[in-house]
Structure formats: C-alpha cells, structure tokens
A and B are shown apart, each in its own frame.
Chain A
Amino acid sequence: MTALHALLAAFIGDFGATALLGVVIIMGYLSVNVLFLVWLERKISAHIQRRLGPMEVGAHGSLQTVADMLKLLGKQLLTPAAADKAVFLLAPVLVFLPTLCIASLIPVAGAEAFADQPYGLIVIVALSGITVIAIFMAGWSSNNKYAVLGGMRSVAQVIAYEIPVLLSALVVVLITQSTNLRTIADAPRFHPWLLVVPQAVAMVLYFIGITAETNRAPFDIPEAESELVGGFHTEYAGMRFALFFFAEYTNMLVLGALGATLFLGGWHGPWLPGPVWLLLKAYGVILVMMWMRWTYPRLRFDQLMSFAWKLLIPVALVNLLLTAVVLGVPGAGR
C-alpha cells in the first residue's frame, strides 16, 4: 500500500495519491459491502422466519444481490410529470455523498484514516445532518402525498435522534479529551472504574440513536411500508431507488464503525489486523440492528418522538453530567 502510494505520489503529488487511493478503496469497499449487507439481511431475516432465503444464484444465494443490482441498472428511470425535476434528480446523489465523506474520516488502523482531522467527530456529526435534507428533498420533490409524509417524518425523527447520538458521543469526548477519532480509539478510558457505567449507557443511547438515524425498524417510520407504501422513495425507480438503498446500508456500516471507534476500541484487538477488527465490530453492531428489525413492530410517529424527547435526551443529559462530575472529582485521573 505504501509502495503504491509512493509510486502514485511521483506522478500526481502526495495529496493527489491519497485522494485517489481513498476514493477507489472506499467506493470499492462500500459497493461490495452493500451487496453483502443486503444478502446478509435477507439471510438473517429468512433464518429468523424459518425460511431459507435466497438459494439459487451462487452458493447460498451469495450472488443474488449482484443479480438484483443488474436488474435495477436495466430499469427505466421514471420521473413523475408533476415532480420538481432538479430537486428530484439531485436527492439520490445527495443522500449518498455525506456517507462517503464520513467513511473517509474513520480511522481504519493505527495511522490510517484517509482524512485525519483533529475535529473528526464534529465533522462527522455535521455531515450526517445533510442526509436528512436529501431525504426531505426526495419526499418533497416527488409531489406525492405519501412521499411528503415520509419526508416530514424523517426530518422530525432525525432531528430528535441526532441529539442523543451527539450527547452520547460527547461523553466519550469528555473522557478522552479529544475529538480526533484516532486519539479517541487509542485513549485508555477505564481508569476510574466509575467511568464504565456512563460509557455503557452512552453506548446503548448511541445504538438506539443510529438505528433511528438510518431509518431501521422499529424506527422505520419514514418509509413505513404498511402505512406510506414506500415513504420518501415511493416515486423513485431503478438505480435512483437503488441509491437510497445503497445509502441506507452504507450508513449502517459507517455509523456502526463510528460506534466501534467511540465505544469498542476501534481497530484494537489481538491477532487480527486493525481494519479487520474494526469491520468485525461494525458488523457486530449491524447484526444486532438486523435482529431487532425482524423482531419488533414499528412505533407510531408520536410515540417515537416522545421516546426521544422524554426519555433518551434526558437520560443522555444526565449521563453527560454524571461523566463530568466523575471526571471533576480530584484525583480521578487526568
């Protein structure tokens, strides 16, 4: 990898080489990841429901999602006559871009994040806010009542659930005294044993928060098939629909990896190389998300909101305060 980087740097400069490698590796891996996750989701749901799931294309249906992607590529891209064309076309692209940017900010091993930022965590939080704008654009521009409802639900939901995610991330920031993700993953943080409790609470809050942010059941009300048909992507067909799908699964991986970095020690682990450990932890988080999706019914919109505002956010605030108090006690460490 370093040799290849040096070779490229000779032609297009150091920055150019890093950018090119980053784009190729991240784009390449995330594409494969989506295909894998969709297959995994179908297999997991099948086994939870005592079915076999896809079995025909490839061994145990492993190439099923490749076939599905090819089918979606071949489909006609329909644009509703009454849609706001420019916004309608822009939304699927915009929903996908922030996730890619976030992926480049997550450190995959000791010294390697493609964009190593001193304020990495803050940039990530800022970027993930863009996704919801794209979803609302999709819902609004479709000029479809179901899509508008889905879009509005999505905005309300993401605003509500970003707060507990941010507050629980702040707990870690307080403890590690850094917003750089590499420093966070490296920092020792169980020195006063009291710190274990707030971090565990923060982890649960973070997990619930990202489940809602990625629109996964039981918080999947923006698409709520049985109520809103397809929610914000009702009017999207073919590859544009696939991009929303792509974004959802990429988001799951990226937020899972961020959770692994914040709470599970990132790339640290015995025997295996760093990137493998990071991915294993991220996929572990995703597995739990899938398990939840196929077990629980969906919450109602108002229940979802009161769950966030009346329970998650107060708990997150108290948790943050508790961490600060523990850290402020003289002789507690730092």
Chain B
Amino acid sequence: MTLSTPSTADPTPPLDTYTLNMGPQHPSTHGVLRLKLTLRGERVVAVEPVIGYSHRAHEKMAENRTYAQFLPNTSRQDYLSGLIYNLAWVEAVEKMAGIEVPERALVARVILAEFNRISSHLLWVGAFLADLGAFTPFLYTFDDREAILGLLETVTGSRLTYCTGRFGGLSKDLDDDFPRRAREVVAKLKARWPELVGLIQDNVIFRQRTEGVGRMTIEQCRRWGVTGPVLRASGVPYDIRKMEPYGAYPRFEFDIPTRTEGDVFARYLVRIAEMEQSVRIIEQALDALPAGPILAAGSLGVKKRLKPPAGTYYSAAESARGAYGIVIVSEGGTEPYRAKFRTPSYANLAALQEMMPGTMVADAVAVLGSLDVVLPEIDR
C-alpha cells in the first residue's frame, strides 16, 4: 500500500486517517514510550515513536563522575540485563587503563552475564505473550527468572541493578557452593523448555499472530542499524561475542542462532535458541572455572582513583538486546571528558517506522513487543 505520512507542516491532513496517541501510559508500550499512530480504520498508516520520557542524562553524568563513581549508573540504563552493561563499562575502562584481569574473574563474568541474558530473555517471552493476550506464560517464565535472580543475588547482592564489576575483577568471589546452585538453576531451565514449546510455540493462535508479521529484510536491518536478536532473526549471524570477542568468550563453544524469515515468530525462535546457547556457555564455564584471585593484585577496586591515558577508546559488548557500544574520550583526568553509549534498543526502535505501517493495531503491539525495547536504555 502507498504510504501517505501526514506531516505537521501539512495544513490539511487527509480526512480518512486519524491519529492515535498510544502511550506514554499504555499497557503494552513497555515503559514510557509514546507512539503517534496514524490509522486508517484499524490499519496503521504511519508511526512516529516519541521518546525521552525517562531521560536522566547518563552521558552527562559520566562527565562529572570518576570512572568508579559511574559504575552504578551503568546497570540503570537497561534494567533487564544490567549486569552486561555494568561489565561492559568495566571492560571498557580496563582496556583504557590496561588493567590485567585474573582468569577466575573473566570466567565468572561470563557465567554471570549469560545468566543475566537468560533472565532478560525469559522476561521478554512472558511480556511478549502478555502483549498477545496470553497472561499465563508470564507467570511461568517469571518463576524461572526468579531462580536466576536468586542465584545472582547470592553473588552480587542485588537482583536488578547490579554493580558487581570492578576494574580488575569482581566485587565478590563466587563461593564454593556456587557451581552446585548454578547447575541446579540450569537443570530447572532445561526442564522448562519443553513446557514452553508445548504451551507457546505449538499453539495455533500464537503461530497465526506471529508468522509473517513485522518482517524485516537484511537490507532494511542494515539501513536502520538494527542489531541483536532482531537482526539475527533476519539472517545475519552478527553477535559481538563472536565478531569482536571480549573477555573469556573466545574459549567457549557456542553457536549464533539465526533464522531467515525476519518476522516476529523468527525473533521468538532466535531468543529461545539463544537461551539454550547461553546455558551451553554456562555449563562449559562452570567446568572450566579456575581457582585464584577474583580481583587483580594491586587493584583496590573502586577506591583507587584511575587516571587512564588521554585518547578516544571504543569498546563493545553483546547485550540481550543487541550491540552495546561505549566510546570514552579521556583527557588523562579522573573523569571522562565525554562518554557516549550506543544502545541497541534505540536503533531497533527506530526501525519500527518501517515495520509497522500496513499492519493492524493488534499486530503493531506484537511488532513492538518483538523488538524487546527497554525505554530507560533508549532515553538514557
């Protein structure tokens, strides 16, 4: 269909369309997102995402704090996979200052980050099904997520906004009992997957609602800078953990699950397969967990005032939503001169303008849900 996007400059908007402001208070905009939908009947003609309702100026804050003081901010960007963001910042600063990280800390970071990724994906499965009108899977996935949060709490002390990364390691060592508890959680997760398949994946209504909806081609993904499971569902095996390996990832075997359909159902399948791969990484890491210190000798954690050499540094990590990039400009002081975060949801959300037109209102909700956007991470 042809797209007629009525702009605000146009004095006479077409009479057969109307505007519906979805959000910022709406059950399925996942936080404070506002979608300006132009509708013809129930069909979406154009969409304009309006963001910024939870802008907290994280990038500006970074300029006014020491590197260590900024640590708590990191996990408050993406509150669902905060640990990955926290560790990404730590790794970026370690790269700048040239800090060596002990083996045990590297492997422990991988374990914690992968658990965090699974918990984020689990929440997505539940919330996405709730968007489609099925509320029961939400409770099931939250049950599993609860087990992961409980496990992470015993190591990091927090359940959502983790701040366990330290320049040169982690704040606390994994206790001797940790591998046993971690394996218990893994066993629980593995037992749950067949249930999810039976309840969700094989459901006729779920298939009808998701297959062929919100399709993105590789070319479109490239144009909008889409990353993460959304890109992989379109067929590009792009994952920072493989493309620009960091931490201990190169020593573990795992696949990058991809699909070629590029629709909402493919995104669901990719995320489910990713959870399985994360479990695979965790199991290998638990087997290979070396003994030794968790924090580099001579590193005093947050107490030491770091002064990385002047220059511009880039570091990237694969978050649960896609490629997370950090650019830090240092002038050699205790605070960054400038910090810029490339957050994956921001680019993914922008692609909505291409995915949504032509769909029905109900599909619009499904498409938005399939992107797995976290608004505080977009607004920063």
Do residues A226 and B130 form an inter-chain contact, with CB atoms below 8 A? yes
A145 to B133, CA, bound (A): 20
Interface string of A220-237 (1 = CB under 8 A from B): 110011111100000000
- Given contacts A49-B140, A51-B139, whether A227 and B205 have CB atoms under 8 Å apart is no
Q: Quick check: is A16 within 8 A (CB to CB) of the other chain?
A: no
Q: Quick check: is A191 within 8 A (CB to CB) of the other chain?
A: no
Q: Which residues of B (349-364) have their CB < 8 Å from a CB of A?
A: 360-364
Do residues B136 and A300 form an inter-chain contact, with CB atoms below 8 A? no
* Interface size classification for chain A: 20 to 34
A228 to B131, CA, bound (A): 11
Do residues A229 and B208 form an inter-chain contact, with CB atoms below 8 A? no
Q: Quick check: is B203 within 8 A (CB to CB) of the other chain?
A: yes
Q: Quick check: is A56 within 8 A (CB to CB) of the other chain?
A: no
Q: How far is the CB of B168 from chain A (nearest CB, A)?
A: 43
Do residues B134 and A227 form an inter-chain contact, with CB atoms below 8 A? no
Q: Quick check: is A200 within 8 A (CB to CB) of the other chain?
A: no
Q: For residue B21, which residue of chain A has the nearest CB?
A: A145
Do residues B208 and A303 form an inter-chain contact, with CB atoms below 8 A? yes
Do residues A145 and B18 form an inter-chain contact, with CB atoms below 8 A? yes
A217 to B133, CA, bound (A): 8
- Given contacts A145-B18, A226-B28, whether A297 and B361 have CB atoms under 8 Å apart is no
Q: How far is the CB of A227 from chain B (nearest CB, A)?
A: 5
Majority DSSP secondary structure for residues of B touching A: helix
Q: Quick check: is A298 within 8 A (CB to CB) of the other chain?
A: yes
Do residues A297 and B209 form an inter-chain contact, with CB atoms below 8 A? yes
- Given contacts A51-B139, A145-B18, A149-B361, whether A296 and B28 have CB atoms under 8 Å apart is no
Report B-chain residues with C-beta under 8 Å of the C-beta of A149.
Answer: 42, 361
Do residues B134 and A297 form an inter-chain contact, with CB atoms below 8 A? yes
- Given contacts A296-B205, A297-B203, A302-B360, whether A226 and B139 have CB atoms under 8 Å apart is no
Q: Quick check: is B26 within 8 A (CB to CB) of the other chain?
A: yes
Q: Which residues of B (335-380) have their CB < 8 Å from a CB of A?
A: 360-365
Q: Quick check: is B160 within 8 A (CB to CB) of the other chain?
A: no
Do residues A229 and B27 form an inter-chain contact, with CB atoms below 8 A? yes
Q: Quick check: is B300 within 8 A (CB to CB) of the other chain?
A: no
Q: Quick check: is B246 within 8 A (CB to CB) of the other chain?
A: no
Do residues B135 and A300 form an inter-chain contact, with CB atoms below 8 A? no
Report B-chain residues with C-beta under 8 Å of the C-beta of A297.
Answer: 129, 132-134, 203, 205-206, 209
- Given contacts A145-B18, A218-B133, whether A301 and B360 have CB atoms under 8 Å apart is yes
Q: Quick check: is A295 within 8 A (CB to CB) of the other chain?
A: yes
Q: Quick check: is B59 within 8 A (CB to CB) of the other chain?
A: no
Q: Quick check: is A48 within 8 A (CB to CB) of the other chain?
A: yes
Q: Quick check: is B288 within 8 A (CB to CB) of the other chain?
A: no
Q: Which residues of A (265-323) have their CB < 8 Å from a CB of B?
A: 294-303
Report B-chain residues with C-beta under 8 Å of the C-beta of A228.
Answer: 361
Q: How far is the CB of B84 from chain A (nearest CB, A)?
A: 28
Q: For residue A153, which residue of chain B has the nearest CB?
A: B42
Do residues A226 and B360 form an inter-chain contact, with CB atoms below 8 A? no
A220 to B135, CA, bound (A): 13
5 residue pairs of the A-B complex, CB under 8 angstroms, read A145-B18, A226-B27, A226-B365, A297-B129, A301-B360
10 new A-B pairs (CB below 8 Å) besides A298-B132, A298-B362, A301-B42? A49-B135, A149-B361, A153-B42, A221-B362, A224-B362, A226-B133, A227-B362, A229-B27, A294-B135, A299-B209
